[in-house]
Amino acid sequence: MITEPEASWEAGGDGWGAGDGRGDGGAADEGPRGAALPGPRTGGAEVLAGLPPRPSRLRSLPGWVWGVLAGALAVALTGAGLAWAGDLPQRHRGPDLHGYRIGQSPCTDHVFDAFSAAVDPVSSGVWPAVFEHTPPLDRAQCGFVAQGARGQGARTSYDVQVDVALHRRTDPAPEFDAQRSVDPSSLRVAERTRPLPGLGDEAYLLTFDDLTRIVKVRSGGAVLAIRLQTTTTAYGTGPDTEEPDLPDLDRLTPSLVAAARAILAGLAS
């Protein structure tokens, strides 16, 4: 039977013995049976072929350098934190609503008392309000209608539409100023626009024709529009029927302003 030769680790053999000239000249560690054990060299540092030399240990930085670096980092982080904290509220700050809120219909009792006294209707009523509540906007729309007394061959009806919007996130001032002469319902441009001082932050009276007037008011983040539309119906259709006299809407302007003040007061209560 053929057997493989056993490896010999005896001194002076082919193994890593003490007498192979690779050690530090001292006696090799003896294992069982007096054989030299293979293992790492115990002599001085060696550079193995193909491997870079071991890097030397980095020298520690002086303490004062670490102190300067830590102080600079703390200042930078503190400044960045203050800048972020100071900018965040400004980024999300909404317009001033002056305490306004929409909790009920803007067309409540007594809002149109001055208007009713001016037209002296034979009948009148309030349309129910429609509400819209979203994170950026609260809105309410309502209306008031009045039927005038029969005049000389004609009768006039008055339709007042109210639109209130509370802007929570975006300041409505730039858009309000740019569209102060525009009818929000029909997008028509008024024939004449004049300011109404002393009402909200800014207010205007829009004149379109002999049948339509609009009062537009901005008070902080609240935007109010009161639109008056009149319809005059003549009695009779014969050739001798005369054109009816149209109502004087300019004399109704103070009553519309009074209604706007009453609505704003109701929003603040």
Listing DSSP states for 166-194 in one string gives EESSS--HHHHHHTTTB-TTT-PBPSEEE
The confidence score (pLDDT) of residue 32 equals 45
Closest to 172 (Cα-Cα) out of 99, 227, 222: 222
Bridge partners for 143 per DSSP:
127, 161
Cut 0.75: pTM above it: no
Please state which of the ranges 43-52, 148-157, 246-255 shows the lowest mean pLDDT.
43-52
DSSP designation for 263:
H
The DSSP symbol for 53 reads P
Q: Please give the average per-residue pLDDT across 61-77, as a whole number.
A: 61
Residue 114 vs residue 30, higher pLDDT: 114
Reply yes or no on whether the pLDDT at 6 is more than 60.
no
In 3D, which of 211, 253, 229 has the Cα closest to residue 158?
229
Report which of residues 215 and 11 the model is more confident about: 215
Q: CA 32, CA 232: separation in Å to the nearest integer?
A: 127
From edge to edge, which strands make up the β-sheet containing 222-234?
123-133, 137-147, 154-167, 222-234, 212-219, 202-207, 192-195
Is the per-residue pLDDT at 37 higher than 70?
Answer: no
Alpha carbon distances (Å) from 29 to 10, 34, 264? 11, 9, 102
Nearest to 235 by CA among 157, 112, 153: 153
Q: Identify the band that residue 50 occupies on the pLDDT scale cut at 50, 70 and 90.
A: low
Query: What's the full length of the chain, in residues?
Result: 269
**What does pLDDT average to over the chain?**
78
pLDDT tens track for 139-150:
999 999 999 887
For residue 214, give both structure tokens: 């609009």
Token readout for 154 is 């004609």
Q: Which residue has the higher pLDDT, 45 or 234?
A: 234
CA pseudo-torsion sign 147, 149, 155, 160: negative
Residue 124 — left, alpha, or beta (φ > 0 → left; ψ -120 to 50 → alpha)?
beta
Q: What is the pLDDT of residue 244?
A: 73
119 Cα distance to chain centroid: 44
pLDDT digits (tens, 9 = 90+) for 10-23: 444 444 444 444 44
Does residue 184 or residue 13 have the better pLDDT? 184
Percentage of the chain surpassing pLDDT 70? 63
Residue 249 has pLDDT above 60, yes or no: yes
Q: How confident is the model at residue 62 (pLDDT cuts 50, 70, 90)?
A: low
Q: What residues pair up with 176 in beta bridges, in sequence order? A: none
Segment 119-148 shows an average pLDDT of 94
| Reduced 3-state DSSP string for 1-38 | CCCCCCCCCCCCCCCCCCCCCCCCCCCCCECHHHCECC
Q: Can you give the pLDDT at residue 258?
A: 98
Mean pLDDT to the nearest integer, 122-141 = 95
- Confidence band of 54 (pLDDT split at 50, 70, 90): low
Please give the residue that has the higher pLDDT: either 244 or 170: 170
Given a cut of 90, whether residue 169 has pLDDT beyond it is yes
Nearest to 168 by CA among 111, 93, 227: 93
Maximal C-alpha separation, the chain: 147
| Residue ranges covered by each domain of the chain | 1-37, 113-234+247-268
